[in-house]
Amino acid sequence: MSGPRHVPVLLDRVVALLAPALDHPGSVLVDATLGLGGHSEAVLEACPQARLVGVDRDPQALELAGDRLSAYADRTTLVHAVYDRIPDVLEELGLPRVDGVLFDLGVSSMQLDVRERGFAYAQDAPLDMRMGDEGPTAADVLNSYPVEDLARILREYGEEKFAGRIARRIVAARESEPFATSARLVELLYDAIPAPARRTGGHPAKRTFQALRIEVNDEMQVLRRAIPAALEAVAVGGRVVVESYHSLEDRIVKQAFAAATRTDVPPDLPFVPDQAQPLFRAVTRGAEKAGPPEVTDNPRAASVRLRAVERTRQGAHA
């Protein structure tokens, strides 16, 4: 693999959380967002009895990860799929249950670094932003969405305070010329966001580019389907580990994990019957964050929220 190797976020902690579930012969980890394969490489090294099913919607990521994981090729199966298709992937592989599922959400370092993908606002590139090779691009969203929908995704997915103003500027600007490349959008954002706001909170294009990426890849809806599928897929003793980088992502994960670990019995019941015990227990206390040394070395770690649960008994997850 050419270029520098990117250090995965909270690598040691992720391995420590997954290892207890992968310490027996025939254990299987699903890395649902394989990316460049950094987390998976570390798990395969630390857990010599584990087998990996690496899933990614990005064919380029699968190719690069395959090179990185070549030393473990006999224990690795790579699958081109969006991560909400976990049930289909496991059925096709004849795996009724697995022992771990890992999600490292958001855009990968590789996608940011390849100019032509259009994820990065720091350089001019076609407004693509697709993690795979299908569906509408960011340019399609900018050039076709009504002003109300543009404002909504900027507000919800980008947490952009000036969503309405930016949406109106985009709709006005596309009348004379459709959006095609990132530089024109960045220029519009500099003009639309007031100067005092531009001086705080990072690059003024950051929130809009994030919102467009999430919309283009349908990330929130995919995640809402994928987390319950992952919980259903793990065997007793199996763990689901999720790294989120956006408040909406973390909220979806938090709510799903809370429901899976909740005991649903009257509070005055003197004991909890076995059949009413929750199917999962929390392995992390709330959301864990990266410490100052890692954030200094890897700025992407600043927003990470890490959560993990373990299946404690069999039963259908609702």
Give the annotated binding-site residues for S-adenosyl-L-methionine: 37-39, 56, 83, 104, 111
Number of C-alpha atoms within 13 angstroms, CB side, residue 21?
31
Separation of CA 119 from chain center: 15
**What gap in Å lies between CA 308 and CA 101, rounded to an integer?**
10
Cβ neighbours of residue 156 under 8 Å, at least 6 residues apart? 211, 248
* Binding residue numbers: 37-39, 56, 83, 104, 111
Residue 96 CB coordination number (10 Å): 9
Residue 82 phi, psi (nearest 5): -80, 145
Query: Nearest CA to 34 among 42, 26, 22, 23?
Result: 42
Radius of gyration of the chain (CA): 21
User: Dihedral through CA 177, CA 179, CA 185, CA 187, nearest 10?
Assistant: -30
220 Cβ contact partners less than 8 Å away, ≥ 6 residues apart: 157, 214, 248, 249, 252
- Residues 6 or more apart whose CB falls under 8 angstroms from that of 92 comprise none
